Structure 1
Amino acid sequence: MDDTAEKGPALQMTSLLCTLHDHLDDVNWCAFSAKLLATCSGDKTLRIYNTSDFSELSFSPLSGHGYSVHCCCFSPCGQFLVSCSTDATTVVWSMVTGEIEAVMEHPGRSPVRICALSPDSIHMVSGASDGTLALWDFPSKQLRRTGAVNDTTMVACSFSPCSQVFMTGSTYGDLRLWDLNMNQLHAEKNAHDLGVTCCTFAPSILSGGQVVQFRLASCGQDSLLKIWAINKFSSGAYKMQRLHTLTGQSAPVLSCAYSSDGQLLVSGSVDKTVAVYDAKNAVLLYTLKQHERYVTACSFSPTSPLIATGSMDKTVNIWRLEDGCSGHGGKSMSGESALTSGEGRNSAGRLKLLVTDWSEEDVSEWLVEEGLERLVDKFRANNIDGTELLSLTKETLASELLIESVGLRNKLLRKVEELKSESACSGIPDEFLCPITRELMKEPVIAADGYSYEREAIESWINTKNRSSPMTNLPLLTTLLTPNHTLKMAIGRWKTSH
């Protein structure tokens, strides 16, 4: 289950595709389906756009809420849109007609701040400003269970990719994991000082031995974006561990979202910037600066290399990610592109080098990323570059670098061994091989189990194997396949270099 050897996406180019100016108040949320973009606002409306050209649909705007609309999300098939509001309702809209399919009144009639649909479309959760949660049966729109966390406001919610658990975040600063019976499985107190603002599960499931692992990103008023591992053990117990703390923004981080393949992570901040990270390696790739006020919302398209960001400046920006590795080094940008150079780009460049080619600065950055920042000064003083790093031994660490802590020496040597094993892999990277055919993928797609497969192979499997997952043997809750653009580009670059 250790994914330290997995390579994140190489640096891409980013350009501003268009800006949508239709809302009359703060944009609070944005969400993509396969073909549509939905945005919602303090102006009480939702607006729906076609992602092929970002023209507004004929039935847009949707005007059914009495107050500010805080959140919206599509059903996995894209047939329905769900929105919630200060008016204490959660509304289900048809994306065929734009008509209201159902209005669910929150228990206690408290303003609803967050709503989330399970990936299997069976459940929906709404969270309110009085700390209450409502779990709904989505097909019937019936209330199933309620729960609450006292003295707080629910502002964040996300279902796991298996649809069996969900995470909530509140202004109290805690993250809480719940099952479908509204039992609390885990509470991470003080996950973010001063309050959580958003949380989102990564789309993939990692499994190994007796443990199933999910990844979760959360952000908050402490100006931090955090990545967590949530382990489920065969006993049914859950354990939550913080893997990374990302500090690419200088003010409260209000929103975060994973790409559909889990490779990228985007966040929006009070500092008016949008940060895009390599989620696997926790590296800042670039910072987008185009909004004039707080960035309150962000979302990745599941089918196209697009990001939508919404702001208190009343606009929604659409950004296009483009493969920028064909000899340009990320520098040949159009005039309207908004990449700011800095350490994020240098770090991403380091990831593409052999360790023996690392500079002293590359080694310092690696130490910080691995939680070994206290060694940076010693390494710099002794001019340790990549080649020197790989040759370190217990003896040299103790006698020449004078590192007294046995635990620190052992941790460093373990990390160095991981680097060596990565460098030794000269064959096709395993993540480039289809789990079914074990051949290099040409058209990788992500299935409902979170794994990537060759399209033809998984389609054939689904047609002949009763819709079970090739990796987990569990039922595939949907046959929807999502193109894995990032993986396809990575495979293309690998083929070119080999």
Structure 2
Amino acid sequence: MSSEKMTSFTLRQGQLFDAEVNNIELNGQARRRKRQVPALQMTSLICTLQDHRDDVNWCAFSGNLLATCSGDKTLRVYNTRDFSELPFSPLSGHGYSVHCCCFTTCGQFLASCSTDATTVVWSMASGEIEAVLEHPGRSPVRICALSPDSAHLVSGASDGTLALWDFPSKQLHRTGGVNDTTLVACSFSPCSQVFITGSTYGDLRLWDLNMRQLHAEKNAHDLGVTCCTFAPSILSGGQVVQFRLASCGQDSQLKIWAINKFSSGGYRMQLLHTLTGQSAPVLSCAYSSDGQLLVSGSVDKTVTVYDANSAALLYTLNQHERYVTACSFSPTAPLIATGSMDKTVNIWRLEDGCRGSDGKPVSGKSARTSSEGRTSAGRSKLLVGDWSEEDVSAWLVEEGLEGLVDKFTANNIDGTELLCLTKETLASELHIESVGLRNKLLRKVEELKTDSVCSGTPDEFLCPITRELMREPVIAADGYSYEREAIESWINTKNRSSPMTNLPLLTTLLTSNHTLKMAIGRWKISH
């Protein structure tokens, strides 16, 4: 994910606040209507990880990894392709229970904090310890968070102290905190310039990078905050900037807040929704990477998934045997991980219309590993670029090119690779010596390209820059969705202006629009 520090905001006087908030809400609703996509259909449990020997305290995704931490003093790291544990896992460097873990945006490093009063930084290339950051005062560290630009790491302790670290150098930058409370929650804003903390007092406090307190929301949750998380997107209307925040607590409530920065340089929090879908204290919450969904885990053993914009309850999941202590969305796949005091981590798939021929959801294993038994008619419902290696092999047999199956299988040629084949790659990489066979294959591929052209594509599925069907849609700061490669190229060459409005982009941070990606996937299957 591309991310850089957000430019400073120039805002008008605070008296305009209420009018501007209305502006933001109207603009935000209009933007959401433009991006509206069909609702998700269902979820399915595809995998249960049972490697920890004590309560699971936290789970976190990177682009291709899942990390979990536990009271057993270890972290475990899994490949999200098949949820196999990495060779260097488990990570054993803490002396006591590990409370929290988080990845850098690129997934190169993992940070974890513990009762042993340290925050440890791990290399995800080797599993080796890169740095051990000792918390000032040697108090147990209960929470840690990395900024989206990976420039800063903050840790909060049981004595109420905060430590802000310069992450590249691993040097302590600032200290601060709140007296006589325990800090148990923390999250950076998507612009990386401010962060929020939650405590057992029940308050939410907003801080800048100089450790100045910008706003305090007292009694945000009766009996204490348990978790808080910023939504990944930034809303703007007029000259006011708004963030969304979710928080949960011992009061059995999940709340959605608007945090507005206005002209005087001050901030104000406004409660938008109070969600009461769970009957006991809510211990964890997380936004999806596109900000459209919100998940929470509770002492009542349930996991709930909400539409983050309308606050509508979409699912209640009941598979854990004890308190659900952790939850996280994958930034790159339709997956949720939930951790529990039952020592397990459940992996849930948000179904996007991918069903078997009997109309039932495809099992996790078959959805991940094969399309065995798929008929030609079933394969034809997919765009060629979405074909698996098995689909390509079946097509070769149908076209009388069965002699190439072994070569294609050995080189892992799927639909995307098939469409990229050239005379040069066929000769030099696949070692197909016959000129006639190479030409025949390329003609068949061109026929596939022609046959797979779809008409009537919904306009919201097309990238505004390329006008092609999006494969990796992302949301930019202007609120519009683009193909990732196209908007990254635009930002690098067009002086950071919006392709749709020509106005400056407040940040170059891009957020995966996974809801739109799934909607496009459903549309491709049905067409």
TM-score interval, normalised by the smaller of the two chains: 0.7 to 0.9
Is the radius of gyration larger for structure 1 or structure 2?
A: 2
Indicate the residue corresponding to 2:447 in structure 1: none
| Deviations, residues 109-159 of structure 1 (Å, cap 9, x unaligned) | 000000000001111100000011111100011111111111110000000
Indicate the residue corresponding to 1:473 in structure 2: 504
Quote the Cα distance in structure 2 between the aligned partners of 1:197 and 1:304: 26
Indicate the residue corresponding to 1:53 in structure 2: 82
Q: Counterpart amino acid of 1:4?
A: Q
CA apart distance, 1:463: 3.8
CA apart distance, 1:315: 0.3
| Deviations, residues 180-224 of structure 1 (Å, cap 9, x unaligned) | 111111111110000000000000000010210100000000000
| Deviations, residues 48-86 of structure 1 (Å, cap 9, x unaligned) | 000001000010000000000000000001000000000
Q: Counterpart amino acid of 1:13?
A: M
Indicate the residue corresponding to 1:357 in structure 2: none
Cα 1:494–1:333, aligned 2, differ >3 Å: closer, same or farther? closer
Quote the Cα distance in structure 1 between the aligned partners of 2:485 and 2:470: 10
Match of 1:171 among 192, 200, 211: 200
Indicate the residue corresponding to 1:446 in structure 2: 474
Match of 1:95 among 124, 137, 153: 124
CA apart distance, 1:454: 2.5
Indicate the residue corresponding to 2:517 in structure 1: 488
- For residues 163-202 of structure 1, the aligned pairs below 5 Å read 163-202=192-231
- For residues 1-150 of structure 1, the aligned pairs below 5 Å read 1-2=24-25, 3-5=28-30, 6=32, 7=36, 10-150=39-179
SS of the residue aligned with 1:4? Answer: helix
Quote the Cα distance in structure 2 between the aligned partners of 1:226 and 1:207: 21
- For residues 260-299 of structure 1, the aligned pairs below 5 Å read 260-299=289-328
CA apart distance, 1:460: 2.8
Q: Do 2:160 and 2:179's aligned partners in 1 also have CA atoms closer than 8 Å?
A: yes
Q: Do 2:40 and 2:350's aligned partners in 1 also have CA atoms closer than 8 Å?
A: no
SS of the residue aligned with 1:203? Answer: strand
SS of the residue aligned with 1:92? Answer: strand
Indicate the residue corresponding to 1:403 in structure 2: none
Cα 1:482–1:174, aligned 2, differ >3 Å: closer, same or farther? closer
- For residues 179-258 of structure 1, the aligned pairs below 5 Å read 179-258=208-287
SS of the residue aligned with 1:242? Answer: strand
Q: Counterpart amino acid of 1:473?
A: P
CA apart distance, 1:464: 1.6
Q: Do 1:9 and 1:263's aligned partners in 2 also have CA atoms closer than 8 Å?
A: no
CA apart distance, 1:237: 1.7
Cα 1:144–1:180, aligned 2, differ >3 Å: closer, same or farther? same
Q: Do 2:353 and 2:522's aligned partners in 1 also have CA atoms closer than 8 Å?
A: no
SS of the residue aligned with 1:222? Answer: coil
Indicate the residue corresponding to 1:356 in structure 2: none
Quote the Cα distance in structure 2 between the aligned partners of 1:217 and 1:81: 23
Cα 1:473–1:64, aligned 2, differ >3 Å: closer, same or farther? same
Q: Do 1:444 and 1:487's aligned partners in 2 also have CA atoms closer than 8 Å?
A: no
Cα 1:435–1:114, aligned 2, differ >3 Å: closer, same or farther? farther
CA apart distance, 1:453: 1.4
CA apart distance, 1:239: 1.1
Indicate the residue corresponding to 2:181 in structure 1: 152
CA apart distance, 1:8: 6.5
Q: Do 2:475 and 2:512's aligned partners in 1 also have CA atoms closer than 8 Å?
A: no
Quote the Cα distance in structure 2 between the aligned partners of 1:467 and 1:209: 19
Runs of 4+ in 1 over 6 A off after TM superposition: 325-328, 428-431, 492-498
Quote the Cα distance in structure 2 between the aligned partners of 1:28 and 1:468: 42
SS of the residue aligned with 2:519? Answer: helix
CA apart distance, 1:475: 7.4
Cα 1:213–1:91, aligned 2, differ >3 Å: closer, same or farther? same
Count of residue correspondences? 404
Quote the Cα distance in structure 1 between the aligned partners of 2:182 and 2:253: 20
Q: Runs of 5+ in structure 1 lacking a partner? A: 337-427
Quote the Cα distance in structure 2 between the aligned partners of 1:127 and 1:493: 42
Q: Could you tell me the percent identity over the aligned residues?
A: 84
| Deviations, residues 9-42 of structure 1 (Å, cap 9, x unaligned) | 5032211111000000000000000010000000
Cα 1:145–1:8, aligned 2, differ >3 Å: closer, same or farther? farther
SS of the residue aligned with 2:29? Answer: coil
Q: Counterpart amino acid of 1:52?
A: R
Q: Counterpart amino acid of 1:308?
A: A
CA apart distance, 1:442: 2.5
Q: Runs of 5+ in structure 2 lacking a partner? A: 1-23, 365-456
